[in-house]
Amino acid sequence: MISIFDYEFTDGSTADSKYFVVMGYHLGQALGFLTTSKEKGGRQRRDGCHIEYGNYPPNFYFSQKNTPFSGGTWVLLWVEFHDAVTLAKKLREGKAVRVHTLPEQTVRALRNCFEKCPDWAPIYSTCTCGGK
């Protein structure tokens, strides 16, 4: 999981920083999910997969003791892409920092949850963690 500082969303809005869960790489792009701590759209603080169909993307909630996510976070299961070279440059320059490595069990649970989402496509099975 990487914290990207001065994060710019696709709509041009910005945030001081966002956590980006890297799930894999494909054609020079890092693909993954953003996290949020906001409880909007009826999100519930209940560990695991939440596939709701509506105005907000499905999400996966988890908390882990002794990590930046002790208070819990939602992983939004909407694929984000970042140019891998640019992301590596940001890491070298301190404009992004690796903050945590999720346990393998959590990564598998995230991927399994994503496979149930409307945004899932077969190409993701080859380039996300646990790909086949």
Give the pLDDT score at 111: 87
CB-CB contact of 31 with 125 (8 Å): no
Is residue 110 included in any domain, yes or no?
A: yes
Half-sphere exposure of 120 (CA within 13 A, CB side): 16
Give the pLDDT score at 127: 62
C-alpha–C-alpha distance, residues 110 and 51, integer Å: 12
Is residue 30 included in any domain, yes or no?
A: yes
Domain that holds residue 87: 2-127
Q: Structurally, how many domains does the chain consist of?
A: 1
Three-state DSSP class for residue 121? coil
Q: Could you read off the pLDDT tens digit of each residue along the chain, which spans 132 residues?
A: 999 999 988 888 999 999 999 998 888 999 999 998 877 777 778 899 988 766 678 889 998 888 888 888 999 988 899 999 999 999 999 999 999 999 889 889 998 898 888 776 665 666 666 554
3-state SS, one letter per residue, for 92-104:
HHCCEEECCCCCH
Give the pLDDT score at 132: 47
Is residue 132 included in any domain, yes or no?
A: no
Is residue 74 included in any domain, yes or no?
A: yes
Is residue 31 included in any domain, yes or no?
A: yes
